[in-house]
Amino acid sequence: GENVEQHPSTLSVQEGDSAVIKCTYSDSASNYFPWYKQELGKGPQLIIDIRSNVGEKKDQRIAVTLNKTAKHFSLHITETQPEDSAVYFCAASTGANSKLTFGKGITLSVRP
């Protein structure tokens, strides 16, 4: 089955700097790659996703890039703010009728 790995487990950046979080996946059939943000005491919230037919997608300060050949995808957050501090999960699936396989998450801390 699919295996999604996320490294490192923690990341600390200065407010205003950029943050990049990387994930790798194992199943070449995976074609959908979402990113979730989880704040303390809440469920994960979808922040951006990408499908395998595109290489990059942007939404204001966040972007996701996908390299299908290398089987890795990354989340880019620019101009980080303290409210970006949270746990971020990447995930992968092979389509609408299959489950998402999640990475273990990365704790992002944005220092004021």
Interacting residues toward other proteins by CB under 8 A: 32, 34, 36, 41-46, 49, 89, 91, 93, 95-105
Q: Specify the residue, 17 or 29, whose C-beta has the smaller distance to other proteins.
A: 29
Over the Cα atoms of the chain, what is R_g?
Answer: 13
Rounded Cα–Cα distance for residues 40 and 5 (Å): 22
Smallest distance from the beta carbon of 15 to other proteins, in angstroms? 25
Closest CA to 92 of 22, 30, 48: 30
Smallest distance from the beta carbon of 16 to other proteins, in angstroms? 29
Quick check: 80 and 87 in contact, CB under 8 A? no
> Can you read off the two tokens belonging to residue 73?
């995808």
Smallest distance from the beta carbon of 98 to other proteins, in angstroms? 7
Q: Specify the residue, 77 or 90, whose C-beta has the smaller distance to other proteins.
A: 90
Amino acid identity, position 76: H
Quick check: 22 and 74 in contact, CB under 8 A? yes
Q: Specify the residue, 9 or 67, whose C-beta has the smaller distance to other proteins.
A: 9
Smallest distance from the beta carbon of 96 to other proteins, in angstroms? 4
Q: Specify the residue, 19 or 44, whose C-beta has the smaller distance to other proteins.
A: 44
Write the DSSP symbol of residue 83.
Answer: G
